Amino acid sequence: MSNDIRELNPREVWRHFSSLAGIPHASGHEEKIREFIADFAQRLGLDTTIDDAGNLIIRKPATPGMEDRRGVILQAHLDMVPQKNSGSQHDFLRDPIEPVIDGGWVRARGTTLGADNGMGVAAAMAVLESDSLRHGPLEALFTVEEESGMSGAMGLKPGLLRGEILMNLDSEDEGELFIGCAGGLDATMTFTYGEQAVPDGYTGFMIAVRGLRGGHSGMDISLGRGNANKIMNRVLQDGYLRHGLLLGSIEGGSLRNAIPRESMATAAVPASQADSFLEEFAVLAAAIKTELSIADPGLQIEAVPAALPGRVVEEEVFGRLLDALRACPDGVMRMSSLMAGLVETSSNLAIVKSGNGSIQVECLLRSSVDSAMEDLAAMMRSLFGLAGAAVVFDGGYPGWKPEPASPILKRMRDTYIGKFGTTPEVRAVHAGLECGIIGAAYPLLDMISFGPTIRYPHSPDEKVDMLSVGKFWDFLVETLAQVPGE
């Protein structure tokens, strides 16, 4: 089989996705891809606007005879999560993504693929380009920085959009229609420390946690995967309590909305304790690997001799940090009582990073229940406040309350049954879809989210099911033709 994804069906979607993969578009760096799509729309003679937040809005008139249909907004985000395997030299600001056909899936070589949300962007572009599809008045809303704080959606001003129905093309399970999502809140805890000289008679070590699957901190939080920051803290605390280990530096995780896959630390251990430290480290590492052997079979935990750190974190602050991270909530806090299998509240211990006299801990809190989010935030404030850290909450965004009586939901469910002969599942999702934010600015919108099947987003294992892309496209085309009138 050819490895050229442009030859896959539906070609009109894969052709655009291939073009998007060739343009660097890590979150926060969407300028090139936005310019590319704006030029594409202008060549088609379509009305094109970039708003004050950097979002791209493209309007396409109804096809003849469809002018009386309710206006539809096709919404997707331009950015992707930049994650790569250890040892990869990929530069997300310069290098193209390299899609690879692997059985019935498309993935990338050692990096995230960008199917989240490139498949949605590509499908919207295919609709805009087509001169044969039947549809009413259309708008395409391409937002920026969804993966790093949803600033595009947050900056969207009332009055810019004209449509009445919003179709978010950012879900990851074909055959499922999403009508609700969790809200989110960023928590940042900062420990300030003084550096101290390494005592005489110490030896240096490099400690590494690698090989975890990671994944989306909302969609994958219930899978029981390892968190590199939690694992690193576990081995560091054991070394500190048993052998007097001191911390030189630490860096774990890179994005709030990705379960951390790797953590690296430099440390110093009394030379007299070095052999026993390594022996007990190996025992603990083996136990942790056994615990995660099903969820994360590729986990590696290593401690190897290395250069002695020049300075170390003062011991008193290090001890408080270890206690706080050990107690820090991580993973599923509560399952929903309203929808079976749905996570209600969770926390992701996403980033632990030292430098310039401080250690910053970053978490992403999620919940579909406002009071539960407030309680989790209070828990974090109490815990890290007691540990002496400065605690800041920001970047909060609202959830999207499910509306089972949604008119577009009924129409799309009937359309799916008629097209494929099966009933789509109606769900809410434990992730921060932009629908919640957009709906706050446009409260009269009838909203729904759907997409092709994507697995392991936000990690280098990300892949998209080829057959599901065809079904997603066929369903979108049929839905647009069936949108009700005014």
| Structure token pair of residue 387 | 């540990």
Cα 249 from Cα 266, distance rounded (Å): 5
d(CA 399, CA 180): 7
Residue type at position 332: V
Beta partners for residue 108, in sequence order: 99
Catalytic residue status for 170: no
For the beta carbon of residue 466, count every other beta carbon within 10 angstroms.
Answer: 19
Tell how strand 246-252 and strand 446-449 pair up.
unpaired
**263-270/246-252 β-pairing:** antiparallel
Active site residue 79: yes
- For residue 153, give every residue at least 6 positions away whose Cβ sits within 8 Å of its Cβ, in sequence order, or none: 55, 143, 146, 397, 434, 437, 438
Catalytic residue among 30, 116, 146, 461: 146
Task: Say if CB 71 and CB 164 are below 8 A apart.
Answer: yes
Q: How far apart are CA 252 and CA 201, in angstroms?
A: 28
Whole-number Cα distances in Å, 426 to 177, 379, 399, 455: 5, 32, 17, 19
Residue of 30, 79, 147, 446 with catalytic role = 79
Sign of the CA dihedral running 326, 258, 169, 9: negative
Backbone CA torsion sign across 458, 459, 465, 470: positive
Secondary structure letter of residue 84 according to DSSP: B
Return all residues near 336 (Cβ < 8 A) that are at least 6 apart.
342, 343, 344, 368, 428
Catalytic center residues: 79, 146
